[in-house]
Chain A
Amino acid sequence: MANPVSTTNAAWRGVRADFPALHQQVNGKPLVYLDNAATAQKPQVVIDTLSRFYERDNANVHRGLHALSNRATEAYEGARNRVAKFLNAADSAEIIFTRGTTESINLVAASWGGANLKPGDAILLTEMEHHSNLVPWQLIARRTGAALRFVPVLGANAEGGLDLAALDSLLTPDVKLFAFTHVSNSLGVINPAAELCAKARAKGIITVIDGAQSIGHMPVDVRALGCDFYAFSGHKMAGVTGIGALYGRRALLDAMPPWQGGGGMISVVEFQESKWKPAPERFEAGTPNFADAVALGAACDYLDALGRPEIARHDNALARLAYDKLSTLPEIRLLGPVGERSGLVSFAFPGVHAHDIVTFADEDGLALRGGHHCNQPLMHKLGLTSTTRASFYVYNTAEEIDILVASLRRILKFFGA
């Protein structure tokens, strides 16, 4: 069974062949790449788009009056339109290109947070946030005097997800902003983002969604979600590294101050002061990462050809299969929800550390991730120092889950666990 989702869509037929990095041996075994939540592999069409841009169209954008600059500008702004369409944003000016999720969240924290937060205000987060949606808020909380509060995670293995019953009492009048992850990178839980945004919006609270783990794995419609900001990275959705975006509602962006200064973001510059352009340019100081943005547009095309509802079904089916098969291993602790989940499974064994597991699994050609997954406070709450994570994408198969389980059995036997 190469693909657990039955589909008539021809794009799925050659899906493994589309990704050149998959076709190699590691330690004498075929590579089984299960580290997709960290970064996904790239289809040939994305790699080719990047190469072709550098081979033919490369020139700096916006300022040039020559042919190549015009082509590059068109390609860059075309990528912005493509990303806007990918997210169903109302306006392409609502898409700001950044280095990725982390920079997008830092932008909101520094610009919106810096202008709007004051002592006595609170920022609401959740206990399952990646460090990228925690540390930027710690920085701005310290700068502005705002407090940080957290929606609890329920269950000894976090199987209960967010404590939604506690949410109403946490959305107090002093809360100005609520930032949460769409899909947890360590638990695999899919948070009810539209419901969370609706509750916050009803109280006039700004919402920020960390979309790092949802963007490439399910349909994402920022207007249906009802969020104010949505941050994501390109490299987790089959795009290249170094590019991502921030979606922000136009009215909010136009009221926000710049967070970095430089060329490209100004309308008038004098010795003492300057005026700036509206969004998105206001937030893109300096030469933007146009080549990678163009490749990101190609990744959007690639994923839409597969169909994002089908990708979600595929990843979900693999994750549930992995959860069921892993649960047969002695003493395994599986984190996150039992049923519906996104395409990843994290687990721990009492007697074997995750780094030893990852080192051994590498010998079987498996690429896994072990550690705290940038979730140190959550790991601490669950009484864990580290977990091992297998995360799936469009090219993974049910056979690869069998290889994972067989490898883990061998490792447990070796360590006598």
Chain B
Amino acid sequence: MSSDLSDLYQQVILDHNKRPRNRGKLPTANRVAHGDNPSCGDQCNVYLRLEGDKIADISFDGSGCAISQASASLMTTQVKGKTAAEAEALFKQFHEIVTTGKEPEEISDLGAFAGVHLFPARIKCATLGWHAALNALHGDAAPLTTESHLD
């Protein structure tokens, strides 16, 4: 396997794809958001219970490639227990990783997604769950799409 491809499909990603964390509907959720990639057909729902400013619980479901599913799974483990501002800061960090390939200074599973930057078409797969989570946080009811005419 080429090094680019092994960078893309890191062990952390394969593990989250095979054994997704926090998958399924969250009965106690008070925020829900849906995201999709129309050209891929990838779908992601994020269910979230916001208590005050804190993400008390979060889950996701949907379908898509290993990158999108693993990213949504990892996202839930990263933002659970965080405040909205902390979650947004994490997304900013994650976005930097998948678009530039620069791994974070502190050791984090988010770094597993650094290989995505070599596959520009897959950036929207990696960010789908995050976008849906932020929309849920903001209470944005409009369905989210990662597509623009440039995708």
Point out residues on A near B: beta carbons under 8 Å. 27, 351-356, 359-360, 363, 371-372, 376, 379, 385-386, 414-416
Q: How many residues of B contact A (CB 8 A)?
A: 22
List of B residues within 8 angstroms of A416 by Cβ: 14, 18
User: Would A385 and B43 be within 8 Å (CB), given that A27-B2, A353-B66 are in contact?
Assistant: yes
List of A residues within 8 angstroms of B42 by Cβ: 355, 385
Which of B18, B39, B43, B119 interacts with A359 by CB under 8 Å?
Answer: B119
Query: B85 within 8 Å of A by Cβ?
Result: no
Smallest Cβ distance from A357 to chain B, in angstroms? 9
Which of A27, A353, A354, A359 interacts with B8 by CB under 8 Å?
Answer: A359
Point out residues on B near A: beta carbons under 8 Å. 1-2, 5, 8-9, 14, 17-18, 39-43, 63-67, 69, 119, 122, 125
User: Would A385 and B41 be within 8 Å (CB), given that A353-B64, A353-B65, A356-B66 are in contact?
Assistant: yes
10 additional contacts (CB under 8 A) given A355-B64, A355-B67:
A27-B2, A355-B42, A355-B65, A356-B67, A359-B65, A360-B5, A371-B41, A386-B41, A415-B17, A416-B18
Q: List 26 A-B contacts (CB under 8 A).
A: A27-B2, A351-B18, A352-B66, A353-B66, A355-B42, A355-B65, A355-B67, A355-B125, A356-B9, A356-B67, A359-B5, A359-B8, A359-B65, A359-B122, A360-B5, A363-B1, A363-B5, A371-B39, A371-B40, A371-B41, A379-B41, A385-B63, A386-B40, A414-B1, A414-B9, A415-B66
Closest residue on chain B to residue A410 by CB atoms? B1
Smallest Cβ distance from B146 to chain A, in angstroms? 14
Which of B2, B63, B125 interacts with A363 by CB under 8 Å?
Answer: B2
| Chain B facing A: main interface SS | mixed
C-alpha spacing A416/B19, complex, angstroms: 12
**A372 and B2: CB pair below 8 A?**
no
**B14 and A415: CB pair below 8 A?**
yes
Smallest Cβ distance from A350 to chain B, in angstroms? 12
Q: List the 10 closest A-B pairs by CB distance, nearest first.
A: A355-B65, A353-B65, A385-B63, A372-B41, A356-B66, A356-B65, A386-B41, A385-B41, A363-B5, A363-B2
List of A residues within 8 angstroms of B63 by Cβ: 353, 385
List of A residues within 8 angstroms of B18 by Cβ: 351, 415-416
C-alpha spacing A360/B125, complex, angstroms: 16
List of A residues within 8 angstroms of B64 by Cβ: 353, 355, 385
Most buried by B among A351, A353, A414: A353
User: Would A376 and B41 be within 8 Å (CB), given that A353-B64, A359-B8, A359-B119 are in contact?
Assistant: yes
List of B residues within 8 angstroms of A372 by Cβ: 41
C-alpha spacing A356/B14, complex, angstroms: 11
List of B residues within 8 angstroms of A354 by Cβ: 65
List of A residues within 8 angstroms of B66 by Cβ: 352-353, 356, 415
C-alpha spacing A376/B37, complex, angstroms: 13
C-alpha spacing A360/B63, complex, angstroms: 19
List of A residues within 8 angstroms of B67 by Cβ: 355-356
Smallest Cβ distance from B77 to chain A, in angstroms? 21
C-alpha spacing A359/B125, complex, angstroms: 13
Smallest Cβ distance from B51 to chain A, in angstroms? 33
